[in-house]
């Protein structure tokens, strides 16, 4: 819906100022990009329904808009909007209300219930067979071999290493420490640095890409960036997302193409697979660069074991043994 055109001048100004406000507050690049797009759809709805000023919006207006979203077709795939996507629209409305209050406006009344569902489905977690299909699809994801090998290296960083998009964007060649079997993440969330272990299989993929295929890209000797584009400059976030879509398309798996698989889905997937294979939740938290265990606890719901009491008992046992960071499984079979 980002192609929507607004006619109302005040809405245009609000939209631009809202985006600038998010940027100045230090929100992530994806948030600064996505929330204004969602707000644009809200403004477009207001225009189409005769609301020319924010002050005329009522609680019922917001409720009617949300009902419209629940019925709107998904423009990227079949069916309607996912619960996760609906929640993002809710987040936008609540954040816009916060923006209005910070600018001496009474805000808008919002009474919406958070959408809940199967956590694994909400996060679009892939199973290990689907991950294998993605890696195999890099043999067909582009007509140029250097780009196919780059695709495979991209999957290693997002899945095998569990990195965030911004972290991969800022990776340099020297951040891949082959001798230590580690990847140095210098641009983590909140500028927090960390080291991520690399298994031998992933190390071979990165080594082959760097020394045999990256050299074929323009400005490869002048740039430190791990991933380069056709112009010889650092590959950016949207380009990574586009390459993932190309890889998914190359699998010829209609179910994968139907689902809303994102770069972050790969990060969710490796965390889930490590947990399923018995990795300690505290070490997974360090692996992902989480500030607290609360962010990692969501993955405990994915364990297919007897019950919550058993889960907690396993976690307590592992904490008693004070397992160290290198005990994250380096080569969890059959994980890539």
Largest CA distance in the chain: 64
Let me know if 201 is a catalytic residue: no
Which of 164, 182, 214, 243 is labelled catalytic? 164
- Token output for 244: 């993932």
Q: Is residue 189 annotated as part of the catalytic site, yes or no?
A: yes
SS3 329: coil
Contact, 70 vs 35, CB < 8 A? no
CA pseudo-torsion sign 38, 43, 45, 48: negative
Token pair 């809303």 is at which residue? 260
Q: How far is CA 3 from CA 20, 38, 40, 303, in A?
A: 19, 11, 9, 41
Q: Strand runs (DSSP E) across the chain, as ranges?
A: 176-177, 182-185, 194-197
Dihedral (CA of 232, 214, 154, 223) sign? negative
Is-catalytic flag, 264? yes
Both tokens assigned to 278: 């018995």
Of 267, 268, 273, 336, catalytic: 267
Phi, psi dihedral angles at 272 (to 5 degrees): -65, -45
Strand order in the sheet with 176-177: 176-177, 182-185, 194-197
Given the residues 11, 66, 213, 299, the one annotated as active site: 299
The full DSSP string for 189-214 is: GGG--EEEE--HHHHHHHHHIIIIIG
| Residue 331: Cβ-neighbour burial (10 angstroms; 0-12, 13-18, 19+) | middle
Half-sphere exposure of 140 (CA within 13 A, CB side): 9
From the CB of residue 213, how many other CB atoms can be counted at a distance below 10 Å? 19
Of residues 264, 301, 318, 330, which has the active-site annotation? Answer: 264
CB 319 within 8 A of CB 281: no
Give yes or no: 103 in active site: no
Catalytic residue among 12, 83, 245, 290: 290
Structure tokens at 176: 């891949």
Of the residues 12, 189, 245, 318, only one is catalytic, namely 189
Which residues are known catalytic residues?
164, 189, 264, 267, 290, 299
């Amino acid at each position: 819906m980002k192609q929507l055109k607004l006619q109302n001048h005040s809405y245009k100004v609000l939209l631009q100022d809202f985006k600038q406000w998010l940027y100045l507050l230090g929100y992530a690049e994806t948030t600064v990009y996505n929330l204004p797009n969602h707000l644009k759809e809200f403004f477009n709805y207001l225009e189409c329904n005769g609301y020319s000023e924010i002050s005329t919006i009522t609680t019922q207006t917001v409720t009617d808009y949300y009902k419209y979203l629940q019925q709107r077709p998904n423009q990227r795939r079949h069916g309607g909007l996912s619960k996760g996507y609906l929640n993002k629209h809710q987040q936008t409305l609540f954040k816009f209300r916060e923006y209005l209050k910070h600018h001496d406006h009474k805000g808008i009344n919002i009474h919406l219930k958070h959408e809940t569902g199967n956590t694994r489905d909400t996060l679009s977690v892939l199973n290990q067979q689907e991950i294998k299909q993605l890696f195999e699809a890099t043999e067909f994801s582009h007509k140029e071999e250097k780009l196919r090998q780059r695709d495979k290296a991209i999957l290693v960083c997002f899945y095998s290493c569990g990195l965030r998009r911004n972290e991969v964007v800022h990776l340099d060649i020297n951040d891949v420490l082959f001798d230590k079997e580690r990847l140095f993440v210098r641009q983590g969330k909140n500028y927090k640095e960390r080291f991520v272990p690399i298994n031998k299989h992933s190390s071979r993929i990165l080594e082959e890409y760097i020394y045999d295929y990256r050299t074929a890209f323009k400005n490869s000797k002048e740039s430190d960036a791990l991933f380069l584009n056709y112009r010889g400059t650092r590959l950016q976030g949207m380009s990574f997302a586009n390459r993932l879509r190309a890889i998914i398309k190359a699998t010829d798996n209609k179910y994968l193409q139907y689902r809303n698989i994102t770069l972050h889905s790969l990060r969710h997937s490796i965390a889930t697979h490590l947990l399923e294979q018995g990795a300690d939740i505290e070490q997974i938290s360090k692996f992902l660069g989480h500030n607290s265990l609360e962010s990692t606890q969501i993955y405990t719901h994915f364990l297919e074991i007897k019950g919550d009491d058993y889960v907690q008992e396993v976690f307590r046992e592992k904490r008693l043994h004070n397992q160290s960071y290198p005990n994250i499984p380096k080569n969890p079979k059959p994980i890539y």
